[in-house]
Copies of this chain bind each other. A is one copy, B any other.
Amino acid sequence: MTVNRYWRLDAHPQGQDFASALTLHEEALAPLAEREVRVAAQWLSMDAGTRMWMGPRTDGYQPPLPLGGKMVGLVLGTVCESRDPAYPVGALVRGFGQWADYPVVTPALTGLDIVDGNLADPREHFGTLGMNAWTALIGVRDVARIQPGEWIAVSAAAGATGSMACQVARNLGARVVGIAGGPEKCRYLRQELGAEIAIDYKADDVAARLAAEVPGGLNAYFDNVGGPILDAVLPSMALFGRVAVCGLIAAYDNDAPLPGPERYDQVLMKRLRIEGFFLPDYFGKTDGFLPPLRNWLDEGRLAMRFDETPGLENVLTAYARMLNGGAIGKVVVKVG
């Protein structure tokens, strides 16, 4: 009998204490319902956005996950059983499933992408061709509307989305300021991501460095974190600057919302545009943003660094690494 291991959400985690909130269980494989597809998971994607789902807040952009249910996350694997004829056994697929050996997906309800099975590294479907990269492209190109020669800052710049945002911005002709924690990440920003300026927010005065090194101001800010770094960046925005709000990592651990930026007045003084965006709003428009990413990958102008943890049983360690800034690039868990 094949056993499916899965992670169950038993309680809303306090901060990053995931071990008290999630437990690993086993079950026999249940028969599929009509239109369901079973995936033999190869990798799981660790995503900050799922942290909000674990909490009790009902006013986020997704309803909270039900306690006692399987933990949800992005999965990459092969179809091993299918009751949807559009998804044949053996196809490489990527989509929202569960943190499990054998996630079950209903593509007609939640979507499931059949992806190119011929890449040298299939993880690129979580990397340069994955949702972090899509998010980066939308944020930099469509929300921040960066123009060649403009300055853009990126927070959490060594993370999965941030590292894509830096490279997308550079590839679109912008000048990039990466903001990340620690000298190793800052080296990575400069040497591999094309950032002209790397600011270590743990060691540097972010506001002072921006004021000194980008005296004309930032035309755009791709923000993954909110909080104190946003406070430091806003006064350095140029007139008519755009802030693409991709995430609020600084707030995800809190059950209460984080307060708004101290220098909100800059919105009026500098005529800024602050705009939140959310990748699923752009689903169904995939044709519009996958081609440039694929071109850049093929040209060697877009690369993702992976931080891989082996074993479904170690997912909580990987998840915490992704959230607490311990990783560079995309955090994935190797399952199959």
Contacts and interface: CB of A to CB of B under 8 A. Distances in A.
A263 B256 CA distance: 10
Interface stretch (A106-114, A189-197, A276-284): A276-284
Contact of A270 (B248, B258, B276): B276
A260 B261 contact: yes
Interface in A223-279: 226, 235, 245-248, 251, 257-278
When all copies of this chain in the complex are counted, the total is 2
Nearest to A257: B265
A59 B277 contact: no
A261 B277 CA distance: 18
Nearest to A59: B269
A60 interface: yes
Nearest to A227: B264
Nearest to A268: B276
Nearest to A251: B265
A274 B271 contact: no
A265 to B, nearest CB: 4
A257 B264 contact: yes
Interface of A: 59-61, 226, 235, 245-248, 251, 257-278, 281
